[in-house]
Structure 1
Amino acid sequence: MEVRVCTSEDSCRYARISELFVYEKFSKTPVERVEAGDICAVCGIEDIQIGETIADKAFGKPLPAIKVEEPTVKMAFSINTSPFVGREGKYVTSRNLRDRLYRELERNLAMRVEDGETADTFIVSGRGTLHITILIENMRREGYEFMVGPPKVINKKVAEKLLEPYEVIF
């Protein structure tokens, strides 16, 4: 089945869906077509990003893109260099750490990862300390062993003014 994959009105490409499934109770059922509102699984489209619209090849129009808020806190992740290295986890190298952090970007929209000053350090940015703490705890449970630096607030400069993130709590 040929479809259009659109990021915006100007940016569309054609793709082919190899399989299409809808969820019924606790299983997936193969189908020929889905309609708006159906919860489905699509197979065969490469390089699809969250927020892109999959539409009919001839008549489809893209939906407005999802706006994800920018990160507000960053932390340095690095390999464990303490004398107890290798006792807590099975994934201890910078390659393991890098692969896991970049894999997290595939499903975590608000997270950003950058290479640090050294080859074994990575700067992870998120929506807050809780956001990054959840990642840390999940990685530890998966068997990753690493060190984490203190959280730092991400400040922005707009028109020569220094802006600091804040949150309104009701």
Structure 2
Amino acid sequence: MTLRTLCLHAFLSIAALGMNGSAALAQNLGNWRALTAEEEKVRIADISPGSVDPSTIEADFDGNGRKDKALIAINKFDGARGLIVLVHGRVHVISPDGVEASDGLGLAERGSWDTVCGNAFREFHDCTDYPSRVMLKNPGILWIGNGRTSLYFWSRKTKSFDVVLVVD
């Protein structure tokens, strides 16, 4: 095989991956991988795709003007599901385990968000050192599952994600 033929095969293979694979699969996720089509099918079960929370969302979570991607992913080493976010091409592991097969994601719009200490759930929580509200300057990530919703949002100070509980 000539060098030219070898290069052509490599180019066509990369192009095929880009056209047929998901964007998450084409990106380097380190120790993580995106859900396969079969895993996504199991995740949504018999629910119509339009009425179930997605496993991947995109927004400018860090406020730099470029879209970032949050996704439920599988740890390649132990098979655990986790929540990860790609920011600046770097993988931020938000929750390394505890994500159930039926969990989904939601997009939290900019603005004021009540936490469990700022709504009716405050009766069931110790709110002594917990904020009753957070103000999002950028979109955030809602992790929705098992009767609980957590809100993850980018902290410019720590250059990482903070979290508050919204529903419990």
Instruction: Settle same-fold status: TM greater than 0.5.
Output: no
TM-score with structure 1 setting the length: 0.21
Structure possessing the higher radius of gyration over alpha carbons:
1
Q: Which protein has greater RCO, CA pairs closer than 8 Å, 6+ apart?
A: 1
Name the structure with the higher strand share. Answer: 2
